[in-house]
Amino acid sequence: MMPLQLRIRLERANRHNIATLRASPLAEISGAFGDAGTLLPIIVALALQGSINLDSTLVFSGLFNVLTGVVFGVPLPVQPMKAIASAALSGRGDPHPASVAGAGVIVGLVILFLSATGLLHHGTRLVPLPVIRGIQHGAGLSLIIGTGSGLLSQLGWASPALDNRLWALVAFLLLLGTQTVARFPYALYVLVAGLVFSLISVLTSGEAAQLPWFSFWRPQILALEDFFRFRESSLTMAIGQIPLTTLNSIIAVSALSADLLPHLPSPSVNALGFSVAAMNLTGPWLGCMPLCHGSGGLAAQYRFGARSGASIILLGLFKLGLGLFFGGTLVDLLAHFPKSLLGVMVLAAGLELAKVGATLNRGLVEPDCGTHVETGTSAADGSSRPRRPGRPSAREMDERRTVMLMTTAGILAFKNDAVGFAAGMLCSWAYRLSDRVTAWKLAKSAPSDTAPLLN
């Protein structure tokens, strides 16, 4: 039988899902597609390259969308692992499907070990909030910079007719004009417009592009001799992904969920770790893209209206339907989706994620670890910690801003979350060491200073 505590949590989460969907159905649907700007380009590029099966990726990511929405009750994204995808697409890693799948399995095993042993939980408690904020801030700015130098920089001003900078400007102005409208279904309208443009582009391209047609999913297990053959590339890609998954897909997601939805229980890092492990120890065997969660996706879905797991459940059912009945025939249609519209959606998600840095010095102070917690939120690991009333001093606020910006700088300068994390932790430890040295000097000088008074 299901443990009582888990059953109560599931019942509470799904009452919230149903109530939120009934109150604002369009906003939940819009939020469900808020992460399309990062999802579509990656899976389409990998599918065209032959590194993944699009149908298996849609089926498994849709299935885990549904499970995630039911279990957690928050708009938690299910995204491709970006470091693995980047390596496979850039040639830094072997693009063979078995190599990509093997990298995902390795990451899943490592995260499972960290979660099962409690190392992930205890390690998270040692990470100061300014470092977590820096990871979120850096991830948001990375999305913005990547959009400007990637998706949008490739566009002309008026050509092609259905995907140019003018359409990006229109989408951006609509975004600005609706930002004060409560839960306006922006992403839903943009998605529908993008699909219409994509359909027109396919019909008028004159290329060998094909429209989607019914093609039932036929699971194809990767050949065992390929999968189990040692591939150095799989290990290399996994090593690059593990820090990103741990920091941005687990620690930062748990903290961001508490910030954006303080009235809901935030997923613990252990629960997120087991979720990531489950996704990557199952789907890759059938050609699914290695999957994780992500703070950028959560920020995007929240920005475009999602406030519950109902949005993710709807997205999961949609992806399941596409994967089961259309599968790989969707590649040409999705490949023609306007980059101008995707770029603006990614830009909005990046802004939503980057602005969490503004909350760094609000709320209560945690004396036990020197970190800072928002009023009404839980710790990054989902547990509560003793807090004392009051605001940090001006010196403390300056230190926290410095640590956050040091973390962000490392991420942006080296394009690596692990480097940013290391820079932020070293900066934080340097401040703590300075405090200890100062306290030691004061303690050492105290007896000599008070000696005349005692005599």
Instruction: Provide the pLDDT for residue 150.
Output: 81
Is 50 exceeded by the pLDDT of residue 455?
no
Q: Considering the domain boundaries, does residue 379 fall inside one?
A: no
Instruction: Point out the domain boundary residue: 308, 334, 359.
Output: 359
Residues 333 and 431 in one domain: no
Q: Considering the domain boundaries, does residue 313 fall inside one?
A: yes
Q: Considering the domain boundaries, does residue 368 fall inside one?
A: no
- What spatial distance separates the first Cα and last Cα of the chain, rounded to whole Å? 74
Residues 277 and 418 in one domain: no
Higher pLDDT, 65 or 442: 65
Q: Considering the domain boundaries, does residue 229 fall inside one?
A: yes
CA–CA dist 99, 87 (Å, integer): 11
Residues 314 and 414 in one domain: no
Residues 402 and 312 in one domain: no
Non-local CB neighbours of 143 within 8 Å, separated by 6+ positions? 38, 296, 346, 347, 349, 350, 353
Instruction: Provide the pLDDT for residue 383.
Output: 39
- Tell me the C-alpha to C-alpha distance, in Å, between residue 194 and each of 16, 71, 176: 31, 31, 19
Is 90 exceeded by the pLDDT of residue 69?
yes
Q: Considering the domain boundaries, does residue 427 fall inside one?
A: yes
Residues 334 and 410 in one domain: no
For the stretch 384-392, contacts whose Cβ atoms lie closer than 8 Å and that sit 24 or more positions apart, written own/partner, are 388/364, 389/364, 390/364, 390/365, 391/361, 391/365, 392/361, 392/365
Local confidence band at 269 (pLDDT 50, 70, 90 cut-offs): very high
How many structural domains is the chain composed of? Answer: 2
Instruction: Provide the pLDDT for residue 162.
Output: 93
- Tell me the C-alpha to C-alpha distance, in Å, between residue 417 and each of 82, 129, 137, 209, 352: 12, 15, 11, 38, 19
Instruction: Provide the pLDDT for residue 364.
Output: 41
Residues 338 and 278 in one domain: yes
Residues 345 and 204 in one domain: yes
Residues 94 and 190 in one domain: yes
Q: Do residues 333 and 47 touch, judged by C-beta distance below 8 A? A: no
Mean pLDDT of 42-71: 93
Put residue 203 in one of left, alpha, beta given phi > 0 → left and psi -120 to 50 → alpha: alpha
Nearest to 374 by CA among 289, 255, 273, 286: 255
Local confidence band at 224 (pLDDT 50, 70, 90 cut-offs): low
Instruction: Provide the pLDDT for residue 370.
Output: 38
CA–CA dist 101, 222 (Å, integer): 9
Count other Cβ atoms within 10 Å, centred on residue 182: 8
Number of H helices and E strands in the chain, helices first, is 20, 4
Percent of the chain beyond pLDDT 70?
A: 88
Instruction: Point out the domain boundary residue: 302, 336, 359.
Output: 359
> In what helix (H) or strand (E) does residue 292 lie, and over which residues does it extend?
strand 291-292
Q: Considering the domain boundaries, does residue 443 fall inside one?
A: no
Using a 10 angstrom Cβ sphere, with 0-12 exposed, 13-18 middle and 19 or more buried, the burial of residue 134 is buried
Q: Do residues 279 and 126 touch, judged by C-beta distance below 8 A? A: no
Torsion angles phi and psi, residue 197, rounded to 5 = -60, -40
CA 288 from centroid of its chain's CA atoms = 18
For the stretch 161-170, contacts whose Cβ atoms lie closer than 8 Å and that sit 24 or more positions apart, written own/partner, are 162/197, 162/200, 162/201, 162/338, 163/197, 163/201, 163/338, 163/339, 163/340, 164/340, 165/340, 167/338, 167/340, 167/341, 168/340, 168/341, 168/343, 168/344
Residues 317 and 172 in one domain: yes
Domain range for 417: 394-438
Q: Tokens 């932020």 belong to which residue?
A: 424
Is 50 exceeded by the pLDDT of residue 94?
yes
Average pLDDT, the chain: 86
Q: Considering the domain boundaries, does residue 400 fall inside one?
A: yes
Residues 418 and 298 in one domain: no
Per-position DSSP letters for 382-424, written without gaps between them: S-----BSS---HHHHHHHHHHHHHHHHHHHHHT-HHHHHHHH
Non-local CB neighbours of 323 within 8 Å, separated by 6+ positions? 54, 55, 56, 57, 58, 59, 62, 217
Instruction: Point out the domain boundary residue: 359, 386, 406.
Output: 359
- For 325-359, what is each residue's pLDDT tens digit? 998 899 999 999 999 999 998 888 888 888 877 77
Q: Do residues 328 and 217 touch, judged by C-beta distance below 8 A? A: no
Higher pLDDT, 276 or 414: 276
Instruction: Provide the pLDDT for residue 228.
Output: 61
Residues 354 and 417 in one domain: no
Q: Do residues 366 and 191 touch, judged by C-beta distance below 8 A? A: no
Which tokens hold the place of 213? 């047609």
Residues 45 and 122 in one domain: yes
Q: Do residues 357 and 136 touch, judged by C-beta distance below 8 A? A: yes
Q: Considering the domain boundaries, does residue 27 fall inside one?
A: yes
Put residue 229 in one of left, alpha, beta given phi > 0 → left and psi -120 to 50 → alpha: beta
Which tokens hold the place of 452? 């005349």
- For 368-408, what is each residue's pLDDT tens digit? 333 333 433 444 334 333 444 456 788 888 999 999 999 99
Beta-bridge partners for 79: 292
- For 165-208, what is each residue's pLDDT tens digit? 999 999 999 999 988 887 789 999 999 999 999 999 999 887 67
Amino acid at 175: L
CA–CA dist 250, 107 (Å, integer): 13
